[in-house]
Amino acid sequence: MYLDTTAPPSAYTAPAAEVRADAPSIRVTRQSPEPSAETAELSVLTYNVRGLPWPLAFDRAKALRNIGRELAAMRDEGRQPDVVLIQEGFRGEIATLVRESGYRYWARGPGRDERTAFHGEVVQPRDPLKGEGLGKVFGAGLHVLSDMPILEVRTAAFNNCAGFDCLANKGAMLVRLQPEWSPTPIDVVNTHMNARKASGAPRTRSLPAHHGQTAELNAFLSIHRDADHPLIVGGDFNVRNSAARYEHLMRGRPYTVVSEFCNQPGSGCGAGAPDARGAPWLRTQDLQGFGDGVARVQPVKSEFVFDRGAQRLSDHDGYLVRYQLSWTAQTVAAYRPDPSVEVKPHKLGFRVSWIP
CATH tag for 38-354 (out of 3.40.50.460, 1.10.3720.10, 3.40.190.10, 3.60.10.10):
3.60.10.10
Q: How would residue 280 be classed by pLDDT, with cut points 50, 70 and 90?
A: confident
Rounded-to-integer distance, Cα 310 and Cα 342, Å: 45
How far out from the chain centre does Cα 149 lie?
Answer: 18
Does position 353 have pLDDT exceeding 80, yes or no? no
Please compute Rg for the chain using Cα positions. Answer: 19
Which residue did the predictor score with more confidence, 286 or 274?
A: 286
Q: Which residues of 195-211 are buried (b: 16+ CB within 10 A; e: fewer)?
A: bbeebbbebebbbbbbb
Query: How high is the pLDDT of residue 313?
Result: 80
Rounded-to-integer distance, Cα 327 and Cα 296, Å: 6
Query: How high is the pLDDT of residue 351?
Result: 46
Query: How high is the pLDDT of residue 349?
Result: 53
Domain limits of the chain? 38-354
Backbone angles phi, psi at 180, to 5 degrees: -65, -20
pTM: 0.85
Rounded-to-integer distance, Cα 88 and Cα 54, Å: 13
Q: Calculate the average pLDDT of the chain.
A: 82
Query: How high is the pLDDT of residue 306?
Result: 79
Lowest mean pLDDT among 196-205, 213-222, 265-274: 265-274
Does position 122 have pLDDT exceeding 60, yes or no? yes
Which residue did the predictor score with more confidence, 267 or 272?
A: 267
Kindly report, residue by residue over 140-161, the tens digit of the pLDDT.
Answer: 999 999 999 999 999 999 999 9
Which contiguous run of DSSP H or E holds residue 156? strand 150-157
Which residue did the predictor score with more confidence, 43 or 351?
A: 43
- Do 231 and 238 touch, CB atoms closer than 8 A? no
